[in-house]
């Protein structure tokens, strides 16, 4: 069985009395700032990922062809 409505109301009342209205609103404001900062950090990371450039490179010569060309050069 879960807590009744009266028990929840008493716990909430004690919470407000202990921390006060001002502290609770400050706490919620700090949480909101943290969430906004986290979202902006994610957006910055996505922007950096889009700006990354692809490096094009030449594929190395397969070993069988490289071996043949070395033999041809030595002869």
Domains of the chain: total:
1
State the pLDDT confidence band at 28, using cuts at 50, 70 and 90.
confident
22 touches 30 (CB < 8 A): no
Q: What is the pLDDT of residue 34?
A: 94
pTM of the model: 0.40
10 touches 18 (CB < 8 A): no
25 lies in which domain range?
A: 21-50
Question: Does any domain span residue 64?
Answer: no
Largest CA distance in the chain: 98
Query: What's the average model confidence in pLDDT over 42-59?
Result: 70
Question: Does any domain span residue 16?
Answer: no
Q: What is the pLDDT of residue 41?
A: 87
3-state class (DSSP) for residue 2: coil
Question: Does any domain span residue 40?
Answer: yes
Outline where 1-75 has alpha helix (H): 5-51, 63-74
Q: What is the pLDDT of residue 73?
A: 59
């Amino acid at each position: 069985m879960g807590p009744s409505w009266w028990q929840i109301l008493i716990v909430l009342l004690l919470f407000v009395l202990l921390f006060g209205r001002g502290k609770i609103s400050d706490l919620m404001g700090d949480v909101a700032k943290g969430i906004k900062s986290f979202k902006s950090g994610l957006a910055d990371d996505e922007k950096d990922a889009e700006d990354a450039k692809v490096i094009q490179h030449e594929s190395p010569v397969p070993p069988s062809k490289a071996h043949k060309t070395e033999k041809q050069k030595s002869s």
